[in-house]
């Protein structure tokens, strides 16, 4: 039986790899056409586009894996069915449940691939790709908006205009409030460098506000102790879906400690947790496609049905995520619900197979 399991798994994995390559080629071509619109912007040339797209490959593989898993499994099992191999297996006394166990081996393999892509390759590759694109187009590392971004650190509200390639800040303003929420100190610096858990501010101008008025002083250098560090800055300038789980956990803790909303990052955390499980559920859904109502359908019909289910899952998953954020649904529930619904549908269809 182990030999048969390996044969079924090998067939499904090869079909999944083929589907993934086709989808990857299609999306890569569309990305390339989109990037051509920025060709010549700053120093952004073809070599930069190709490097950017190469570094974006893990992101695309990660995003396309659930759909590729479903279509690949449908194609693999459909190929076995069209050559009457599944019929021979059933005639030899092998049940659908035993075949399904072999299919779940594929699901486990794809879960490991999803975790490796999402947590090991995708975060550093995507961050490097964005840095290369931003440096070529503007000469600086991309920030959250063209006006910089804001962070909160206890009673300090910090505005950072630019993040430079060496993880230093350019154009930083620190607004310090007292316990009665009154603005007391405004510190502005041209540059901030991080070393030994301390920021060193350069060309500092500080305004102190009290009942006697405003006093302005300036120094060449000043030390600034803050929970903000370069790794947290990387979290701020990179969309949460591109971050590793440990980066999200660290930043969620930082936001909670400063009484800020962390729902967007909590949603991204749970979506990343559910991503490998979603890929496994898509593989599980392939079995009813072959043994269920579509067992007599041609290969083309199965592919279309599989594509519709895969696209439907993707749209439902993304839509429910945004609905959850808008209406305040618990992040873990919003992330789990779509996958749970499709898993229940697959389980129901499996129960109807005899």
* 180 confidence band (pLDDT: 50, 70, 90): confident
Q: Are residues 95 and 35 in the same domain?
A: yes
Q: What percentage of the chain exceeds 70 in pLDDT?
A: 88
**Confidence class of residue 166 from pLDDT cuts 50, 70 and 90?**
low
What pLDDT score does 3 carry?
79
Out of 206, 226, 246, a domain closes at: 226
- What pLDDT does residue 29 have? 93
Does residue 253 sit within a domain? Answer: no
**Structural domain includes residue 258:** no
Q: Which helix (H) or strand (E) element contains residue 153?
A: strand 149-153
Specify the pLDDT at position 295. 56
Average pLDDT, the chain: 81
Position 144 scores a pLDDT of: 47
Same domain, 133 and 198: no
On whether residue 250 sits in a domain, the answer given is no
Q: Is there a domain that residue 144 lies in?
A: no
Classify residue 332: in a domain, yes or no.
yes
Same domain, 31 and 134: yes
Query: How much is the average pLDDT of 317-345?
Result: 86
Query: What pLDDT, on a 0 to 100 scale, did the predictor assign at position 255?
Result: 75
- Same domain as 91, residue 62: yes
Does 272 map to a domain? Answer: yes
Confidence of residue 142 (pLDDT cuts 50, 70, 90): very low
Q: What does the alpha-carbon distance between residue 157 and residue 95 come to, in Å, rounded to a whole number?
A: 64
Q: In this structure, is residue 242 part of a structural domain?
A: no
Kindly report, residue by residue over 25-48, the tens digit of the pLDDT.
999 999 899 888 888 877 888 888
Under 8 Å between Cβ of 177 and 152: no
Q: What is the DSSP letter of 199?
A: E
The reply to whether 146 falls in a domain is: no
pLDDT band at 317 (very low <50, low <70, confident <90, very high): confident
75-79, 146-150, 155-159, 185-189: range with lowest mean pLDDT: 146-150
In this structure, the answer to whether residues 303 and 334 fall within a common structural domain is: yes
Q: What is the pLDDT of residue 188?
A: 92
pLDDT on residue 57: 92
pLDDT over 60 (residue 99): yes
> Domain ends where: 226, 248, 277?
226
The count of domains in the chain is 2
Least-confidence region, from 79-88, 196-205, 284-293: 284-293
Please identify, among 201, 226, 251, the residue that sits at the C-terminal boundary of a domain.
Answer: 226
Identify which has the larger pLDDT, 232 or 173.
173
**What mean pLDDT comes out for the span 303-313?**
76
CATH of the domain at 218: 2.60.450.10
Rg (CA), the chain: 26
- Own/partner contacts of 256-265, CB < 8 Å, gap of 24 or more, are 257/227, 258/152, 258/153, 258/154, 260/152, 263/325, 263/328, 263/331, 264/240, 264/325, 265/240
Helices (H), the chain: 2-36, 46-55, 57-82, 85-91, 96-116, 122-138, 230-237, 245-257, 263-291, 299-327, 331-351
Specify whether 38 is located in the same domain as 75.
yes
Question: Based on the domain organization, do 135 and 162 belong to the same domain?
Answer: no
pLDDT mean over 280-286? 83
Do residues 39 and 78 share a domain? yes
Does residue 125 or residue 306 have the better pLDDT? 125
Report which of residues 118 and 228 the model is more confident about: 118
Same domain (yes/no): 70, 161? no
pTM of the model: 0.69
On whether both 18 and 126 belong to a single domain, the answer is: yes
Q: Are residues 295 and 329 in the same domain?
A: yes
- Per cent of the chain over pLDDT 90 is 10
- Say if residue 304's pLDDT is above 80: no
List the domain range (segments joined by +) for residue 167. Answer: 155-226
Judge if 134 and 161 occupy the same domain.
no
Whether residue 167 has pLDDT greater than 80: no
Confidence tier at 143 by pLDDT (50, 70, 90):
very low
Q: What is the pLDDT of residue 298?
A: 65
State the Cα–Cα distance between residues 120 and 234, nearest whole angstrom: 16
């Amino acid at each position: 039986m182990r030999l048969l399991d390996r044969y079924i798994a090998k067939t499904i994995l090869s079909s999944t790899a083929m589907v993934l390559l086709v989808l990857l080629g299609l999306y890569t071509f569309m990305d390339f056409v989109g990037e051509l619109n920025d060709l010549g912007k700053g120093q952004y040339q073809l070599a930069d586009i190709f490097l950017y797209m190469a570094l974006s490959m893990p992101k695309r593989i990660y995003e396309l894996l659930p759909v590729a898993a479903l279509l690949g499994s449908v194609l693999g099992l459909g190929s076995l069915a069209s050559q009457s191999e599944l019929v021979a297996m059933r005639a030899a006394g092998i049940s659908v449940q035993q075949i399904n166990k072999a299919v779940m081996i594929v699901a486990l393999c794809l879960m490991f691939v999803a975790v490796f892509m999402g947590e090991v390759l995708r975060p550093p590759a995507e961050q490097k790709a964005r840095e290369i694109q931003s440096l070529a187009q503007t000469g600086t590392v991309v920030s959250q908006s063209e006006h910089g971004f804001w962070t909160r650190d206890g009673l300090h509200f910090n505005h950072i205009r630019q993040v430079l390639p060496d993880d230093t800040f350019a154009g930083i303003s620190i607004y310090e409030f007292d316990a009665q929420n009154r603005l007391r100190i405004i510190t502005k610096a041209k540059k901030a460098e991080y070393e030994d858990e301390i920021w060193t501010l350069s060309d500092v101008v500080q305004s102190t506000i009290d009942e006697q008025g405003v006093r302005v002083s300036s120094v060449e250098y000043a030390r600034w102790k803050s929970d903000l560090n370069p790794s947290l800055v990387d979290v701020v300038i990179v969309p949460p879906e591109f971050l590793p789980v440990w980066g999200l956990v660290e930043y969620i803790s930082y936001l909670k400690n400063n009484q800020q909303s962390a729902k967007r990052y909590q949603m991204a955390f749970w979506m990343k947790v559910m991503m490998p499980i979603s890929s496994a559920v898509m593989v599980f859904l392939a079995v009813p496609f072959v043994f269920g109502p579509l067992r007599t359908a041609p290969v083309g019909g199965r592919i279309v049905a599989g594509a519709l289910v895969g696209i439907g899952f993707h749209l439902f998953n993304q839509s429910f995520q945004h609905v959850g954020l808008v209406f305040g649904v618990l992040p873990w529930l919003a992330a789990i619900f779509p996958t749970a619904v499709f898993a229940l549908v697959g389980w129901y269809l499996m129960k109807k197979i005899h």
